Amino acid sequence: MKTTAFLSTLMTFLGAGVSTSAAAISDTSTWARRVIPLPHEMNVRGIVRVRPSEVVVKARAGAGPLEQRALAELNGLLREKDGGPPTDPKFGVLLGVLDGKGEVDGVWVASAARLKAVPNPGQAYVIEPDADRRLVIAALSETGVYYGARTLCQLLEFGLSREDAVVPLVSVVDWPDLEERGFWHMPLDQIPWLASFKLNHFHAVTRFAVGADRKITPRVPTYLVNDPAGEALWSVPFARARQYAAEVVPGIIHLDFWESFPGFPEAFPELLGQGESAKDPYTFESRRQRVPCASNPVLVSILADLMETLAAQGARQVYVWASEYPVAQCACEACVKEGQYQAEVRAAVAAWRRARRTYPDLRLGVFFGAGGGWKGPGRSYPKEQIEQILAWLPPEVHLGVSMGIQDKVLEARAAAGGWVARFAVVNPLSPWQRYTAGDIQRRVQYLVAKRHGGACQYISGVERADVRVLFDYRLTALAEYAWNANGRSPTKFAAAWATRRGFARPGLFARWIGMMAEPQLAALQSRMSACLSLSPNSWLGRLPQMIAERKMDGAFQGVSAGQLSDVVAACREVLAVARQLDVPDVAREAEGMLRYAELEDAGYLLLAHAGRADLRQAEDRAALQASLKEAEGAFSACTRALLAKVDGWNVTPGMAESLRKSADAPRAAFVDTVRELARQGVIYPSPVTH
């Protein structure tokens, strides 16, 4: 083994001013609370106390861009505290890609041999102490080195001041369970933050402009609203994202959206799907949604041109998004013979093969996301066509699915060696269900067990300033479990999240999360999210109709009045714990949940009274009026609590307006209910206010 100049320099300073302890702050579980995502294997056998100015960080000779970024982030963390370069080196950090001997700059790394055997070795890393005077971060790739540095940064942050750096003598062997972890429709300037806890793929739906001579020019969106500087910075995002070990993946927009682009129908009339069967009957009149004539070779040419242009800008992978409406069909003979969606995928693969003549390393993905306003049962793509596609689709072509293809189909492709990802890990993130992680863990555990390659969560309609305010907990939970699906429970994750957010009592926060995750309260939160997302199928959205028909019609199915009262009591306990935390956002969250539980209790009783009432009888009308009076207080209190939550979030004006509309749903439903009963002769004279 070589002795480097770096080691010699450090050994000169051994002893003086360095404190090593195996007892003080060396419990591995304590350190584990400080890092997200949790490493797969981690052990802390002691600590070293030095001043930040006494820590030297070095990258291997010939370090690449990501290694240099890792070096800069570690140095930036230390130098932020001491204000300058190290003046009296006593402890070191060496980082770099391993050479063929299992060494970094001549330093042998004992655990390096394990890296080739773990899942996704290209992102794996090790950290190990060297003689209690140095930590070595090593990996098979620059990406792994960067991830190791991110872990060490998180560990160092908590014991760092101008006078003191508490460095754990930590041994880590770590890797991601899923190769790709990220979002679609995420504001791109959030990549540095999200990548700091190892999220690495950000899909951006890519539209195009049609110019003279049928020239097609793609545009990758930044999702940045009213931010010219950010738009300019991220307008060509590929290389910038790679500075953080992340990829921006352009997704050529759903093929049945193309007709809506200005100039497209005139420039490419031969690509317009033929016959009424090509149209989405729910959206064609409003936004011209129609599947293309996918058997026409012009489609291959356009897709190949788009892929080549995006590759020239730096994209390493391009997705083609199949038509969104899942049961359309161009009526031309060739498309009918092959099947609409099979023809679309075949065109995408042919275009990719053409583009690879110029860009041989370009990778392809195909995305299916059923939608288009269709209200048919199942909302699925034709089973026979999907099976035929998967029978010939090259295994290296990534298949991403949000909706429209069942889990069992993806399981079979993954088991056969094909690459698949779920693009809807859980339902779209809701600001009304912010503090849950168990659903994410359970879903990711399934994806890992079934050999999926990636998990990508949908997020849309959120400006960058609102992302962290509304979804910090949920975004971080996805980062946690997509990296290490079985590492720790949701309550232990909650303690880690609260620790990193500076809560004074992270253990109490974890207890609060555990209470919220009890089955009755988890179900309550799901119903609350549906109601406040203004779903017409929620019980609140259907309340006036149910009152008119005087029947519950499936609302609160299997739930008794006594059970709802028990839920209210449980919510009071949740609020009591939340208030002990002295975190206003958590208290408002619990208050809103309690008031919603009381709203359900009142709604149940109101529906029960309405169902028993004979409105021809004066006494029944009077009883229903009294029931309305009792319910009004709960409906109004819920609206007030929800509006208080919105006011406390400090979101952008547009988001605040949208959220206030949702928060007003209980009051609006009560007003509509009163109006419906008035039409039936039950007059409720009291004004309805907040």
What is the DSSP track for 352-388? HHHHTTT-TT-EEEEEEE--TT--SSS----HHHHHH
Q: Per-residue pLDDT averaged across 226-245, rounded?
A: 94
Question: pLDDT tens digit string along 600-645?
Answer: 999 998 888 888 888 888 888 888 888 888 889 999 999 999 999 9
Contact in structure between 510 and 29 (CB atoms under 8 Å): no
Question: 231-269 in b/e burial notation, b at 16+ Cβ within 10 A?
Answer: beebeebbebbbbbbbbbbbbbbbbbbbbbbeebbebbe
Q: Name the token pair of 639.
A: 């609206």
Please say if the pLDDT value at position 460 is more than 80. Answer: no
Contact in structure between 624 and 613 (CB atoms under 8 Å): yes
| pLDDT score recorded for residue 472 | 95
d(CA 349, CA 344): 9
Please say if the pLDDT value at position 11 is more than 70. Answer: no
Q: Name the token pair of 40.
A: 């797969």
d(CA 516, CA 613): 36
Please say if the pLDDT value at position 451 is more than 90. Answer: yes
**Nearest alpha-carbon partner for 576 in 590, 555, 562, 560:** 590
**Nearest alpha-carbon partner for 77 in 156, 170, 193, 10:** 156
| pLDDT score recorded for residue 378 | 62
Q: Report which of residues 551 and 203 the model is more confident about.
A: 203
| Local structure of residue 344 (DSSP, 8 states) | H
Please say if the pLDDT value at position 665 is more than 80. Answer: yes
Please say if the pLDDT value at position 84 is more than 90. Answer: no
Consecutive H or E run containing 48:
strand 41-50
- pLDDT tier, 373 (very low <50, low <70, confident <90, very high otherwise): low
d(CA 183, CA 469): 17
Contact in structure between 347 and 334 (CB atoms under 8 Å): no
Contact in structure between 490 and 443 (CB atoms under 8 Å): no
Q: Per-residue pLDDT averaged across 176-195, rounded?
A: 95
**Residue percentage of the chain with pLDDT more than 90:** 74
Contact in structure between 338 and 295 (CB atoms under 8 Å): yes
Lowest mean pLDDT among 75-89, 101-115, 376-390, 484-498: 75-89
d(CA 480, CA 478): 5
Please say if the pLDDT value at position 406 is more than 60. Answer: yes
Q: Which of 152-161, 172-181, 544-553, 617-626 holds the top average pLDDT?
A: 172-181
Consecutive H or E run containing 253:
none
- Helix (H/G/I), strand (E/B), else coil: 184: strand
d(CA 442, CA 456): 15
What is the DSSP track for 198-233? T--EEEEEEEEEE-GGG-EEEE-----SS-HHHHHH
Cα dihedral: 458, 462, 463, 469 (round 10): -100
Helical axes 506-516 vs 561-581, angle rounded to 10°: 170
d(CA 430, CA 471): 8
Domain assignments of the chain as residue spans, ordered by start: 5-174, 518-679
Q: Per-residue pLDDT averaged across 483-504, rounded?
A: 98
Question: pLDDT tens digit string along 273-282?
Answer: 999 999 988 8
Question: pLDDT tens digit string along 302-344?
Answer: 999 999 999 999 999 999 999 999 999 999 999 999 999 999 9
Please say if the pLDDT value at position 24 is more than 60. Answer: no
Per this entry, what is the length of the chain? 690
| pLDDT score recorded for residue 375 | 63
Q: Report which of residues 122 and 609 the model is more confident about.
A: 122
The strands making up 134-139's β-sheet, listed across from edge to edge, are: 19-21, 41-50, 165-174, 125-129, 134-139, 91-97, 55-59
Mean pLDDT of the chain: 91
Burial of 652 per CB tally in 10 Å (0-12, 13-18, 19+): middle
Q: Report which of residues 612 and 684 the model is more confident about.
A: 612
Q: Which CATH architecture group holds 5-174? A: 2-Layer Sandwich (3.30)
| Local structure of residue 158 (DSSP, 8 states) | T
**Nearest alpha-carbon partner for 184 in 414, 454, 541:** 454
d(CA 66, CA 142): 6
Query: What angle (nearest 5°) sits at the alpha carbon of residue 656, between those of residues 652 and 660?
Result: 180
Q: Per-residue pLDDT averaged across 482-495, rounded?
A: 98
Rg (CA), the chain: 29
Cα dihedral: 452, 113, 316, 344 (round 10): -30
| pLDDT score recorded for residue 7 | 37
Contacts of 311 (CB under 8 A, 6+ apart): 318, 355, 358, 359, 362
d(CA 102, CA 637): 64
HEC readout, 127-141: EEECCCCEEEEEECC
Question: 16-49 in b/e burial notation, b at 16+ Cβ within 10 A?
Answer: eebebeeeeebeeeebbbbbbbbbbebebebbbb
- pLDDT tier, 676 (very low <50, low <70, confident <90, very high otherwise): confident
- Helix (H/G/I), strand (E/B), else coil: 615: coil
- Helix (H/G/I), strand (E/B), else coil: 528: helix
Question: 184-214 in b/e burial notation, b at 16+ Cβ within 10 A?
Answer: bbbbbbbbeebbbbbbbbbbbbbbbebeeee
Lowest mean pLDDT among 41-50, 329-338, 372-381, 445-454: 372-381
Tell me, what amino acid is at 265?
P
Q: Report which of residues 580 and 535 the model is more confident about.
A: 580
- pLDDT tier, 657 (very low <50, low <70, confident <90, very high otherwise): very high
| pLDDT score recorded for residue 233 | 94
**Nearest alpha-carbon partner for 220 in 318, 302, 289, 301:** 318
Please state whether the peptide bond connecting residue 37 to the residue before it is cis, i.e. omega within 30 degrees of 0. Answer: yes
Please say if the pLDDT value at position 549 is more than 70. Answer: yes
Contact in structure between 558 and 607 (CB atoms under 8 Å): no
Q: Report which of residues 227 and 91 the model is more confident about.
A: 91
